[in-house]
Amino acid sequence: MPKQDERATSTLHEAGLLIEKDSYLTLDGHLILVGEDKSRIRPMIFKRFKNRCCICGHPLDEGAPKWTPNAGAWHHPGSCSCVGCTELRCDETTGRKCHAHREAGVIFTRKADALKAFNKLYPESA
């Protein structure tokens, strides 16, 4: 975990700009956000990228649920959640590979397929 700038962090909390006690500003000026603080920033990411995937340009909708064509994913290249450090990409569940870094290229286009594969891997949990 990056080191916390304690003075700046407590100022942000006092000003009501950070709500969650685990959200903080790092010494090198990045925001580490959790919970409510994180969900408040998410719409700004959609705004910053004009509701488009930064890889393929496909239109994305902030309210679109997973497994729909316009579902977006908030990509965090680092550990911070700054608006300027993060990106908007197509969610894996759209079937497009723009945000495939976690699953090492395994992409499901339908929830049913994902479930099937999951149950094969973890038969106990079915």
CB of 126 to Zn ion, least distance (A): 28
CB of 120 to Zn ion, least distance (A): 25
Which residue's CB is nearer to Zn ion, number 83 or number 117?
83
CB contact at 8 A, 36 and 55: no
The per-residue b/e assignment along 15-48, b for 16 or more CB within 10 angstroms, e otherwise, is: eeebeeeebbbbeeebbbbeeebbeebbeebbee
Residues that bind Zn ion (CB under 5 A): 30, 53, 55-56, 58, 75, 80, 82, 85, 90, 96, 98
CB of 45 to Zn ion, least distance (A): 12
Which residue's CB is nearer to Zn ion, number 12 or number 75?
75
Which residue's CB is nearer to Zn ion, number 86 or number 114?
86
- State the Cα angle at 74 between 69 and 80, rounded to 5°: 175
